[in-house]
Amino acid sequence: MGQEVANNSRDEVLGLLHGRQGERRPCFSGLISVTEPGLQSLGLRFGEIHTDATKMAAAAATSYRLFGLESAVVPTDICVEAGALGAEVDFRIDSPRPEFPTVVKPLATSLGDLHIASPANVVRHERVATVIEAIGLLKAGVGQEVAVGAWVPGPATLAMYLVDRGGFLSDLMSAPAEVAGPLDALADLLAEVALAYRAAGADFITIHEMGGSPGMLGPALFGRVVQPPLKRLIAALPAPRVLSACGRTNRGMKLLWECGAEALNVDQANSLAQSRAALGPEAILFGNIDPVGTLAEGDEAAVREAVRQAIDDGADAVWPGCDLWPQVPAANVRAMVHEAAGYRGTPGARETA
């Protein structure tokens, strides 16, 4: 299936991540891209793949092998670093339908009370080691055909999985100086994890700042408290790097671009046309197909229309706005990939959007 879309997909994707725009817009992701149809093709349940490198890699490759998505990405849940720091994780192993793992309870009531283990210990933890092994398996299996990606949460997003969310948000607003040090420590920890992923063979790293984005916190709070540790994390990593941010981020796009990643991914709440106008033609922008409302719940016609709109609005690559919703129909993933491969854009749409 993948070869039907592009025989030189890996080169085109990596070329784009290094600033070389081709004739078409690739369709890939740097976030979780595992689907229920893919899991069923392997006879696996979602809950069992997160702690087994062989199953994780096999599941991550299905969206390329079955549908032509131009990447294979791990890890397959957001709780890797939280688990490595001691949080109890519920993998939803017995769930009859795929559900994302969650942290059972916070480790602390505030970030200042959190004990942050050394990055070296975290990198050696079995959860991180499993992802590292899965990257090697993906490189050996599909790494000559498509780009292999790995991702880590942003420092603020990781903090929200480790401490009481209400307390953390209160500290962000009332005592930003007190959270700066812990957020820097989490940035350093995440950098070591991401560097280990690159050393294992990941072609690019995505930093997924969901809860800490300017769309969630507002541009002022993001710029004052979250942007500095994000810059610190991104600066510690080699190119190419993608920064993914959720929510209505249009008012914060320049702040996101200043973080230093080669590309930005935005979700469906962001107006790509406005983002393109704000950042200009040189910025590399990905997005912004709604993973639930369009991909999981829409039909093929709606998916194709969303892809065309994203390209006309200025997307350099078509990405789901966030993690693929596991229940996405196979036909909709194929429609997204094939429309991106064939659509070259409405003449003048990008310039006038």
pLDDT score, position 156? 96
Cα 314 from Cα 350, distance rounded (Å): 5
- Number of neighbours of residue 83 by Cβ within 10 angstroms: 22
The total domain count for the chain is 1
Task: Respond yes or no on whether the N-terminal peptide bond of residue 288 is cis (omega within 30° of 0).
Answer: yes
Q: What is the mean pLDDT of each run of 10 residues along the chain (353 residues)?
A: 61 95 93 98 97 98 98 98 97 93 94 91 97 98 97 97 90 90 97 98 97 94 97 98 97 98 97 97 96 98 98 97 96 98 79 59
Q: Which domain holds residue 258?
A: 2-352
- Number of neighbours of residue 119 by Cβ within 10 angstroms: 18
Q: What is the DSSP letter of 224?
A: I
Residue type for position 60: A
| Per-residue pLDDT tens digits for 200-228 | 999 999 999 999 999 999 999 999 999 99
Contact 209, 156 (CB under 8 A): yes
pLDDT score, position 352? 60
Helix ranges, 145-263 (H): 155-162, 165-174, 176-200, 214-217, 219-221, 227-235, 253-257
Closest Cα partner for 17 from 285, 245, 272? 285
Phi/psi at 60 (5° precision): -65, -30
Contact 93, 49 (CB under 8 A): no
pLDDT score, position 6? 53
pLDDT score, position 3? 43
| Per-residue pLDDT tens digits for 139-177 | 999 999 999 999 999 999 999 999 998 888 888 888 888
Indicate which CATH number applies to the domain containing 209.
3.20.20.210
